[in-house]
Amino acid sequence: MADIIQLLPDNIANQIAAGEVIQRPASAVKELLENAVDAGATEIKLIITDAGKSLIQVIDNGKGMSETDARMCFERHATSKIKNVNDLFHIRTMGFRGEALASIAAVAQVELKTRKADEELGCYIEIENSVVIKQEPCACPVGTSIAMKNLFFSVPARRNFLKSNAAEMRHIVDEFIHVAMAFPQIFFSLTANGEQMFHLEAGNLKQRVVQVLGNQYASKLVSVKEETDYMNVYGFVGKPDAARKTRGEQYFFVNNRYIKSGYLNHAVMSAFDNLINKDSFPLYALYIDLDPTRVDINVHPTKQEIKFEDEKIIYAFVQAAVKHALAQFSVAPSLDFTLNAEIQQLDAVSKPYTEGTKEDVSGSQLFKTFTQRHQAHKVDPSEKSELKHWKDFFTSPQQPASASQPETIGEYSLDISAGYAAPQKQSSLYQQSDKLIATDAHLLQLHTTYIIAPTQSGFLLVHQQLAHERILYERFSVAAHGRQMVTQKLLFPSTLTVSPSDAVLLTDLLPELKMLGYDVEPFGKDSFVIQGVPADVSQGNEKHSIELLIEQFKHFSSDIKFSKREKLIRCLSRQQAIKAGQHLTQTEMRTLVEELFSCNTANVTPTGSPTYIEFKEDYLDRMFGR
């Protein structure tokens, strides 16, 4: 009987390994940038074309490689950083497994140029599908330039699973930021499709954090620094007023390696107890240095998840360091009852305000200017003012003033004519299935969160925020699928500047935003002009509205796969819904309830939470034993 077990050819083995290491273009970017850092470079340039699908090139001025090393680096498990088992537990370099370049060469066409400082000529190598096509001497600067073209050309099925260019570009920018923030002493640049997105000059840590996150955070950072024999914690946390409603910019680095850790994130959150709302998330960029033997970074292919020898000690140190920083910089709210000694010596403080002083003041020319009649600044408070009845010009005697204007809730309007068809109301009763709410029934708001609406057979308990979320979701769904919402043009267009990674995301969302009533146009690098917004977004709130939308979209739950349009609709409905704690008038409550029962699915929100609970009369009777 013939043997059936055989060894895989090298090129197939490398492609299988590539499935673990190179999952998308961003994975290759991470590996190449880390290799450049390990080479001792002071300048690293990343060049991207077609979101990495056509070209990913990293150019560094590091120490370069000899001709033999240049050829060997593409072999599986070839590494300069590990010589024995003990070295594995003292890793301080970024890349060490020797899988990256072999995996890249298995799924892309690679061109490598490299030269050491003590050699006159460099080496040029061209590899395709793990096979060396060309190797020859070449003239090139000291350092290494590696270009990978046509990613996954040899594995078309993998290429088909890549996302849109904008989505892949966001992942690339994230990986670039993770490496750039870990090494502020190195110059980094990122050029995409011929346009420079990042130009990060070498500097100190705060300069790099501000360069990446944006200048608006320069005054909102609190320095963290604690040194002990066991570990060092340093970096920055955002002041409480910089906290966001969604997970903002949060970065952890262990020995200059970016990691994800829900455990350590909880340590920072607990340090912010009573300083920010429970539903807010602080900004932070924290760096932990500790002995490599106390941490295992080899537990995950991407090395973004690590294990500590003693997690509880790390948790306690991080929590204490952040708490100490917030207290030291007086971020915690406090009242200063002491008065400066110099101020106490002033006449205005030390001398009493006598009748004589009062007469001197009232007799002065300045006092008369503001109080006497026929002066330019005088405003007559008398009842005979001609402006008293100005509202009467805008309302007829038969029509109350409130009927001519849309009801507003918070920053957003409940004008049912804005951008969609108003529901047909009945004259005496509003009816939806078996629920009857009389038009003259008095609605009650409970805890500024719930609306109690009596029906013929009991009453409804409506959650105002969840109900409004359902209303907005259906309105936006209609708009996003062809019936564009009304756009209110701004008299003075607003200019919005965002971070480079957010600019990539916002550019990708512009067509969908247009359908939902947002008229936003690109305006140079990282800037956009807001020409118009939906008719129910209050004036002056347009920039905050779009910034919050970007933030929510970025951190939308990745567990459930939605289309880009569906994510946008859900984010907008959640963002613009009235919040619990908002006081509503009778008319506002009635409008909200009536619009809710005009929805196709009135009983649940898009996420499945109930919008109302019905209490029937027979159920209430049973509760009281009747």
Instruction: Of 205, 177, 204, give the one whose Cα is nearest residue 189.
Output: 177
Single residue among 152, 176, 200 that ends a domain in this structure: 200
Residue 279 maps to which CATH number? 3.30.230.10
The reply to whether 510 and 611 lie within a common domain is yes
Single residue among 328, 358, 386 that ends a domain in this structure: 328
* Highest mean pLDDT of the ranges 210-214, 235-239, 262-266, 438-442: 235-239
The dihedral of CA 363, 367, 370, 376: what is its sign?
A: positive
403 in a structural domain: no
The reply to whether 286 and 421 lie within a common domain is no
- Name the strands in the sheet holding 458-463, side by side, starting at the edge strand that comes first in the sequence: 444-446, 450-455, 458-463, 612-616
The 10s digit of each residue's pLDDT in 288-347 is 999 888 887 765 555 667 777 788 888 999 999 999 988 877 655 444 444 444 444 555
Q: Among the listed ranges 84-98, 227-241, 350-364, which one has the minimum average pLDDT value?
A: 84-98
Is 519 within 8 Å of 548 (Cβ atoms)? no
pLDDT band at 559 (very low <50, low <70, confident <90, very high): very low
- What is the structure's pLDDT at 480? 76
Residues of the chain with pLDDT > 90, as a percent, come to: 24
123 in a structural domain: yes
The reply to whether 65 and 126 lie within a common domain is yes
382 in a structural domain: no
400 in a structural domain: no
- 276-283 average pLDDT score: 82
- 2-23 average pLDDT score: 73
The reply to whether 168 and 229 lie within a common domain is no
- 558-586 average pLDDT score: 79
The reply to whether 234 and 265 lie within a common domain is yes
When comparing pLDDT for 455 and 335, which is higher? 455
4 in a structural domain: no
266 in a structural domain: yes
Distance CA(479)–CA(516), nearest Å, equals 6
Q: Is the pLDDT of residue 150 over 80?
A: yes
452 in a structural domain: yes
Looking up tokens 């009816």 gives 431
Q: Is 453 exposed, middle or buried (0-12, 13-18, 19+ CB in 10 A)?
A: buried
Q: What is the DSSP pairing of strand 43-49 with strand 187-192? A: parallel
Looking up tokens 């001497």 gives 137
The reply to whether 287 and 161 lie within a common domain is no
Residue 181 maps to which CATH number? 3.30.565.10
When comparing pLDDT for 97 and 321, which is higher? 321
Distance CA(57)–CA(35), nearest Å, equals 13
The reply to whether 178 and 220 lie within a common domain is no
HSE-up of residue 267 (Cα within 13 Å, Cβ side): 19
* Residue 494: strand, helix, or coil: strand
Residue 489 maps to which CATH number? 3.30.1370.100
The reply to whether 126 and 216 lie within a common domain is no
When comparing pLDDT for 403 and 327, which is higher? 327
When comparing pLDDT for 413 and 367, which is higher? 367
The reply to whether 521 and 575 lie within a common domain is yes
Q: Is the pLDDT of residue 357 over 90?
A: no
The reply to whether 143 and 173 lie within a common domain is yes
- What is the structure's pLDDT at 404? 41
Amino acid at 46: L
The reply to whether 148 and 236 lie within a common domain is no
- Give me the domain span that covers residue 190: 10-200
Single residue among 148, 183, 200 that ends a domain in this structure: 200
Q: Is the pLDDT of residue 50 over 60?
A: yes
Torsion, Cα of 141, 146, 149, 151 (10° steps): -170
- 54-82 average pLDDT score: 84
pLDDT band at 125 (very low <50, low <70, confident <90, very high): very high
* Highest mean pLDDT of the ranges 13-22, 350-359, 528-537: 528-537
The reply to whether 196 and 210 lie within a common domain is no
455 in a structural domain: yes
pLDDT band at 415 (very low <50, low <70, confident <90, very high): very low
Split into its structural domains, the chain has a count of 3
Is 594 within 8 Å of 425 (Cβ atoms)? yes
Instruction: Of 530, 472, 525, 518, give the one whose Cα is nearest residue 498.
Output: 525
When comparing pLDDT for 215 and 126, which is higher? 126
